[in-house]
Amino acid sequence: MVPNDALTLGRRIRARRVELGLSLQEFSDRIGKAPSRVSVIENGQRDLRLSELQDIATALDTSSDALAQSGELSERDALEIEFLRAQRTPLYASLGLPEIPVRKSLSDETMQAMLKLLGELTELHSTRAATPEVARLANLQLRADQRERGNYFEELEREAEALLRAVGYREGPVSMDTVKQIAEHLGFTLHAVTDLPYSTRSITDSERMRVYLSASGVSRSRSVVLQALAAHVLGKREPVDYGDLLQQRVETNYLTGAILLPESSAAPLLRASKQRRDLSIEEFRGHYGVTYETAAHRFSNLATQHLEIPVHFLKVHESGAVLKAYENDSVLFPTDALGNVEGQIVCRWWSARQVFTTDQRIGTYSQYTDKPAGTYWCTSQVESGPGGSYSISVGTKFSEAKWFRGRDTSVRLRSDCPNPSCCREPEEELVERWGERSYPSARMNSSLLAAMPTGTFTGVDRVAVLEFLQRHTPESP
């Protein structure tokens, strides 16, 4: 039987030849092949047919079974095999290096050093290409850090304040003109283009200090520009792992929100609304001309720090899956066994799901919900985006609802989740009628098994980005 491992078999053939004292030419003459072809066999560069192995075994005064089942290889042979295998991996091919032939002049120390370097590279790429489970664990830690600090980052607030002060901002909504002034203050110019790669929202040319935006969405590009500028201000580079990637996104998004809804004006505005018992995310959104999601998330930054109100925030897809979540009011989000929230299904009796079933999808919807951790008040609004509709929700404990507009709602529901009997188990009649007569085909998330790409930011086509920059770089005189 011919073994599949051509490298090992080739080394055993060579070892037997050397044991018999045969030169490469003598052995070649015995089997009627050119020395170059014998070298290819001994170096494991092609598989042997059974008839070829039998001819070789006869020439070496042994049997094919003996060659295939010989004992351990010498240390040198084993090292050479490991070295050759390492050069045949996708990782080695991606480095663009030539294959290093194994000769007698190649020392053991050189091969061992190369293997050590390749091993370190493999470990690095294995870490970067870890499964999404690593990302979820990193996100779990990040959410715990946010909870501990009340989702308030003082150093980023100061950074936003300094940028606004530098361009003479006073109060009110931060206009696109103000954003442009911030860019110019940092040395950047903004450019609308029609050929921005599909996988990107913006591209920053740090050499010529340019930020490229899609011409089709330039009128709503404040956040996109500020996120690009935030990465520069915070000195962000390509993330090294999932934890770094998530931390960067949190910080750049936070700084963007802190510029669009400045603490210096937003905090007094919210305090005045609380004093009137008229806190409203919709009113907050309207005052600064931002999306409901941006206003809700920014409210979660400031509520505990300036209003002493613990809150929770949810972004939920119309399918019921959690996309973003934050809490410091002890509400019990749905979680997996490790405590991860993102991707879990929200109870259908929560405001985040109920808003999809009412005729109040235009405007805000509020309700009280009796949950295992207590009674909570929550307000939700639906926004549309890529992939469907999403509910944006902000909630707090019953005792804090008195400060919010919408506290007078008469809607009050009960949720026993995570108890399966709450909303996750169908009625017995339906199970009896359809339990064994149905087989749904699940819509698989395309990123379910995706790993963190190497050499590029997640989800971005690096080739398209670099080609884009090349197109927009004038030729040197």
- pTM above the 0.75 mark? no
User: Which residue type does 472 have?
Assistant: H
Alpha helices in 101-205 (DSSP H): 108-128, 132-148, 154-166, 176-185
- By CB atoms closer than 10 A (0-12, 13-18, 19+), residue 104 is exposed
- Higher per-residue confidence, 331 vs 453: 331
Residue 449 clears pLDDT 60, i.e. is over it: no
Among 72-76, 162-166, 273-277, 292-296, which stretch is predicted with the lowest mean pLDDT?
A: 72-76
Taking Cα atoms as reference points, which of 370, 420, 421, 358 lies closest to residue 395?
370
Cα 406 from chain centroid (whole Å):
36
Among 48-57, 161-170, 428-437, which stretch is predicted with the lowest mean pLDDT?
A: 428-437
Q: Which one-letter DSSP state was computed for residue 374? A: E
Structure token digits, residue 6 = 């051509």
pLDDT at res. 442: 58
- Higher per-residue confidence, 458 vs 244: 244
Residue tagged 């339990």 (tokens): 435
pLDDT at res. 260: 96
- Higher per-residue confidence, 88 vs 23: 23
With a pLDDT cut of 70, the percent of the chain lying above it is: 88
pLDDT at res. 259: 96
pLDDT at res. 439: 66
- Determine the 3-state secondary structure of 442 from DSSP: coil
Dist. CA 43–CA 385, nearest whole Å: 57
Dist. CA 414–CA 64, nearest whole Å: 75
Name, in order, each residue with C-beta under 8 angstroms of 398's C-beta and a sequence gap of 6 or more: 368, 374, 375, 376, 377
Domains, in order of start, for the chain:
6-126 (1.10.260.40), 138-260 (1.10.10.2910), 304-437 (3.30.450.20)
Residue 378 clears pLDDT 60, i.e. is over it: yes
pLDDT at res. 335: 84
Among 56-60, 63-67, 274-278, 310-314, which stretch is predicted with the lowest mean pLDDT?
A: 63-67
| pLDDT, average across residues 2-9 | 66
Q: What is the pLDDT of residues 97-137, one digit of tens each?
A: 888 888 888 899 998 998 998 888 877 766 555 556 677 77
Taking Cα atoms as reference points, which of 275, 279, 272 lies closest to residue 401?
279
Among 19-33, 87-101, 117-131, 319-333, which stretch is predicted with the lowest mean pLDDT?
A: 117-131
Residue 454 clears pLDDT 50, i.e. is over it: no
pLDDT at res. 427: 80
pLDDT, averaged across the chain: 85
Structure token digits, residue 422 = 């709450």
pLDDT band at 231 (very low <50, low <70, confident <90, very high): confident
Cα 65 from chain centroid (whole Å):
51
| pLDDT, average across residues 345-374 | 89
Residue 372 clears pLDDT 60, i.e. is over it: yes
User: Which residue type does 139 have?
Assistant: N
For 140-275, list the strands marked E by DSSP: 189-193, 202-205, 210-214
pLDDT at res. 459: 56
pLDDT at res. 2: 42
pLDDT at res. 477: 47
Taking Cα atoms as reference points, which of 11, 26, 15 lies closest to residue 59?
26
pLDDT band at 407 (very low <50, low <70, confident <90, very high): very high
Among 235-249, 368-382, 439-453, which stretch is predicted with the lowest mean pLDDT?
A: 439-453
Give CA torsion, residues 282, 299, 165, 269, to 10 deg: 60
Structure token digits, residue 11 = 């080394």
Taking Cα atoms as reference points, which of 320, 422, 404 lies closest to residue 367?
404
Strands of the 210-214 sheet, one edge to the other: 189-193, 210-214, 202-205
Dist. CA 250–CA 145, nearest whole Å: 11
| pLDDT, average across residues 426-434 | 79
pLDDT at res. 93: 77
User: Which residue type does 358 have?
Assistant: T
Q: Which one-letter DSSP state was computed for residue 401? A: G
- Higher per-residue confidence, 466 vs 198: 198
pLDDT band at 448 (very low <50, low <70, confident <90, very high): very low
Q: What is the pLDDT of residues 456-473, one digit of tens each?
A: 445 566 666 777 777 887
pLDDT at res. 455: 45
Name, in order, each residue with C-beta under 8 angstroms of 351's C-beta and a sequence gap of 6 or more: 365, 366, 367, 369, 378, 379, 380, 391, 393, 395
Residue 226 clears pLDDT 90, i.e. is over it: yes
- Higher per-residue confidence, 47 vs 162: 162
Residue tagged 């006869």 (tokens): 58
pLDDT band at 10 (very low <50, low <70, confident <90, very high): confident
Dist. CA 3–CA 153, nearest whole Å: 62
Structure token digits, residue 246 = 């998530």
